Homo-oligomer: A and B are copies of this chain.
Amino acid sequence: MSRKATASAPSNIAFIKYWGATDLDHALPANASLSMTLEVCRTTTTVQVHDDDGPDTIRIAPGDGTLTTAPDSFNERFARHLARLRERLGVHGRVEAVTHNSFPSDAGIASSASGFAALAYAISAAFDRLDTPEEMSVRARLSGSGSAARSTFGGYVMWPSDPGAPDSPATQHASPDIDLRDVIALVQGGPKPVSSLEGHRRAATSPHFATRQEHLPERTRRLSDALTGGDFDTFTELLEEETIDLHLVAMSSTPPILYWEPGTLAVIRSVRRLREQDGVPCAFTMDAGANVHVICPPSSEDAVAAAISALPSVHDVIRDRVGSGPRNESEHLF
Q: Which residues of A contact B (CB under 8 A)?
A: 190, 207-208, 210-211, 214-215, 240-241, 244-245, 248, 251-252, 256, 258, 260-266, 268-269, 313
Contact = CB atoms under 8 A, between A and B. Distances in A.
Contacts of A260: 265
Contacts of A215: 207
Contacts of A210: 211
Given A208-B211, A262-B265, A269-B262, A251 B248 contact: yes
Nearest to A269: B190
Residue picked from A207, A241, A251, A262, most chain B C-beta under 10 Å: A262
14 contacts: A208-B248, A241-B256, A244-B251, A248-B248, A248-B251, A248-B252, A258-B268, A260-B265, A261-B269, A262-B262, A262-B263, A262-B266, A262-B269, A262-B313
A241 to B, nearest CB: 7
Nearest to A208: B208
A256 B243 CA distance: 12
A47 to B, nearest CB: 41
Contacts of A208: 208, 211, 248
